[in-house]
Amino acid sequence: MRVLIVDDEPPARRKLAEFLRRERDVEISGEAANGMQAAELIDELQPDVVFLDVQMPGMNGFEVLETIHGRIPFVVFVTAYDQYAVKAFEVHAVDYLLKPFDRNRLQACLSRVRDQIGRDSGRDIQARVEKLIAEATGRAYLNRVMVKNKGRIIFLQVRDIDWIKALSNYVELHAGAQTYLLRDTMSSLEARLDPAAFARVHRSVIVNRDRIRELQPWSHNDYLLIMKDGTEIRMSRRYHKNL
């Protein structure tokens, strides 16, 4: 399995790397020293397992996962001391390691991971982790997303998105003059957006309710949405009730 190590303390990363290198089936695909780097590398390397430090400056472990899209990797949380987090891990049956740990502990953890990766199709784990993140960040909905623009990584605040359009395997996020691509599906994204702030108005369009300027009747009971920036979006009949 391909593993990503995330910790803001170099010795902590070195120790984990040292232990993991001795495992035959483990390949260390990268190391991240802070939350932003972690989010980037998870997206770029698509590791199977992430050893994720919980307390990190800027963006903590939970916030890292919050910004990740599509496939959340199998996560092992690593923490030195945090009673509340540990309780949450227990409740949601998510794996964690307490620092400091010895090699036996890590191996026990790894064998649990091997077990679960083989058994769960990933869906189950993802659902559990998502619940945990919502609880830990106190937010039921997505707060920011990580997007790429001309090779740069941007952490886009969800409230800054004007509207979203579906492309085949991607969605297109329109925020001001910028357009970003995100690897995600319409329905998965819709499920994570706050329905009080965003509404699906078409099979392939979600709009930010705040950015709608007016609603004009269109043919066949359809409507035309005119956004504050002048963009016109067709709204199909079956989504009327969403607005």
Partner 1 sequence: MNRILFWPLWAGFWTIIGLVNFGSALIFMRRIQPGIPAWQPLVWELSSVYVIGLLLVPLVVYATRHLEFRRDRWKRVLVAHFALTVPFSLLHTSGMVAIRKAVYWMAGLSYDYSSGNLAGAVLYEFYKDILSYWMIVLIAIGFQYYNRYRERDRQLAEVQLQNLRQQLNPHFLFNTLNMISSKMYEDVAQADAMIARLSDLLRMTLRTSRQPEVPLRTDLEALDLYLEIMKARFGDAIQVDLNVDAHAHEALAPSLILQPLVENAFRHGVNGQAASGRIRIRASVSDHTLTLRVSDNGPGFQDSREAILNRGFGLSNTAARLQQLYGDQHRLDLNNSDGGGAEVVIRIPYRVA
β-pairing, 232-235 vs 212-217, is unpaired
DSSP 26: -
Which residue shows structure tokens 């607005």? 243
Minimum distance of partner 1 from residue 159's CB (angstroms): 18
Distance CA 6, CA 102 (A): 18
**Nearest residue (CB) to partner 1, 9 versus 160:** 9
For 2, the 3-state DSSP assignment is strand
**Which of residues 3 and 12 has its CB atom nearest to partner 1 in the complex?**
12
From the CB of 19, what's the least distance to partner 1, in Å? 9
State the minimum distance, in angstroms, from the CB of residue 76 to partner 1. Answer: 15
Determine if 124 is a binding residue for partner 1 (CB under 8 A). Answer: no
Q: One symbol per residue from 40 to 69: x for binding partner 1 (CB under 8 A), - otherwise; what is it? A: ---------------xxxx-----------
Residues 15, 69, 174, 192: which binds partner 1 (CB under 8 A)? 15
- Considering only residues 187 through 216, tell me which ones interact with partner 1, judged by CB under 8 A: none
- On whether the CB atoms of residues 51 and 8 are closer than 8 A, the answer is no
Sole binder of partner 1 in the list 1, 33, 197, 233 (CB under 8 A): 33
9 binds partner 1 (CB under 8 A): yes
Q: 174-204 in b/e burial notation, b at 16+ Cβ within 10 A?
A: bbeeeebebebbbeebbebbeeeebbbbbee
Q: What is the Cα–Cα distance from 102 to 237, expressed in whole angstroms?
A: 60
Across the beta sheet with 223-227, what order do the strands follow? Answer: 212-217, 223-227, 232-235
- Tell me which stretch binds partner 1 (CB under 8 A): 2-10, 66-74, 207-215, 216-224: 2-10
Q: What residues from 68 to 107 belong to the interface with partner 1 (CB under 8 A)?
A: 80-82, 98-100, 102
Distance CA 51, CA 201 (A): 39
Q: Which of 8, 23, 130, 222 binds partner 1 (CB under 8 A)?
A: 8
Tell the smallest beta-carbon distance from residue 18 to partner 1 (Å).
Answer: 6
According to CB under 8 A, which one of 2, 28, 29, 34 is a site residue for partner 1?
34
Cis peptide before 100 (omega within 30 of 0): yes
Asked whether the beta carbons of 92 and 139 are under 8 A apart, the reply is: no
Beta-bridge mates of residue 216: 224
Q: Rank residues 79 and 208 by Cβ distance to partner 1 and give the closer one.
A: 79
Which residue's CB is nearer to partner 1, number 21 or number 213? 21
- Which tokens belong to 98? 């307490």
Binding site for partner 1 (CB under 8 A): 8-12, 14-15, 18, 33-34, 55-58, 80-82, 98-100, 102
